[in-house]
Amino acid sequence: MTNKQNGSVVLLNGVSSSGKSAIINELVTLHPKLKVLKVDDWFPDALKKTVKGYGWNEDSGVDPWLFLYEYAFKKTGEYYFNTQVREKFFNNSADFYKQALDLVTSGHDVIIDTVLEYETEYTEFDTFFNNIQTKKILIYCPMDILLDRVEQRNKAGISAEQRTAFQSFEQFPAMFKVQESLRDQVVDHVQTSTIKQSLDEAIVQLLDNNIPEPYIPKLHKFKTSFIKQFRLNQQDVIILSPQHIYDIILDSSVYSPKESAEKIISILH
């Protein structure tokens, strides 16, 4: 992929269940020497390291993620959604990037499969790999199709792979926006009625999981904010753009994992 002594970094960013893992499987088939770092593989141990600093005991039998939720509530008096807890109380991503940097400076090409949402996360990524050849790839999936994928994923019955569709909707506003300028990259043209219906379905699914009562007002507030941000009550169709600039934007509902992998490989040669 590169003739330089250092390897390259390929960032795959996209909301949960957008299709990154399937694309990575094809990338590794096409280029077996690629090193893959998945945030889902790294996160459990990093989470334990974080919550130990907040007083969690591994022998307590308490789930570390639930401990972090309760810790956040005790500290602030508020209940937070997943992404908010991670932003406010989890800051070990530097360890994750260091693994990638060590591999790259040893001459390996590395794929990073993660979810970057907040401005600080993008800045941290750029700072870490400032002198490294990087390619940023956004993996997009229409939210109605993503709902079906989450359902199929959960039906597989693998506990570590269980997700809620709402998790993807949480991440969506931090990654996408309504096109503001013709200079903005275009992700998709979307019927606003489709997004609204998908959002409603994701919230209903979450409520069916008997979430704690304090989260219900926050759900309604999130829905109101989401509708306003994406102008779902103002327009019939919106043009989605990414919040940041990417080398490639791939719609995983249009391209197969193999086709997506081939497109990524093509820009790295």
| pLDDT score of 158 more than 70 | no
Strands (E) across 98-213 are located at: 110-114, 133-140, 176-178, 188-191
Q: In the chain, how many domains are there?
A: 1
Please write the tens of the pLDDT for every residue from 169-190: 999 998 999 999 999 999 999 9
The mean pLDDT of 115-138, rounded to a whole number, is: 90
Strands (E) across 8-131 are located at: 8-13, 35-38, 110-114
Banded pLDDT at 85 (limits 50, 70, 90): confident
Banded pLDDT at 159 (limits 50, 70, 90): low
The mean pLDDT of 195-215, rounded to a whole number, is: 87
> In which element (H, E) is residue 20 found?
helix 20-30
- Distance CA(183)–CA(133), nearest Å, equals 24
**Integer CA distances (angstroms), 204 to 161, 190, 256, in order:** 20, 22, 30
- Distance CA(236)–CA(245), nearest Å, equals 26
**Is 23 within a domain?**
yes
**Integer CA distances (angstroms), 186 to 157, 227, 244, 246, 266, in order:** 36, 20, 11, 11, 21
Banded pLDDT at 161 (limits 50, 70, 90): low
- State residue 162's pLDDT score: 61
**Is 2 within a domain?**
no
- Distance CA(200)–CA(216), nearest Å, equals 13
Q: Is the pTM of this model over 0.85?
A: yes
- State residue 9's pLDDT score: 93
The mean pLDDT of 108-130, rounded to a whole number, is: 89
| pLDDT score of 42 more than 90 | no
Does residue 208 or residue 175 have the better pLDDT? 175
- State residue 156's pLDDT score: 64
Please write the tens of the pLDDT for every residue from 47-60: 888 889 899 998 88
**Is 206 within a domain?**
yes
Q: Residue 218: which CATH number?
A: 3.40.50.300
| pLDDT score of 2 more than 60 | no
| pLDDT score of 93 more than 90 | no
Please write the tens of the pLDDT for every residue from 222-257: 999 999 999 999 999 999 999 999 999 999 999 999
**Is 119 within a domain?**
yes
- State residue 172's pLDDT score: 94
Does residue 269 or residue 71 have the better pLDDT? 71
- State residue 91's pLDDT score: 67
- State residue 86's pLDDT score: 78
**Is 1 within a domain?**
no
- Distance CA(252)–CA(139), nearest Å, equals 7
Range of 147's domain?
8-268
| pLDDT score of 1 more than 50 | no
Total number of residues shown for the chain: 269
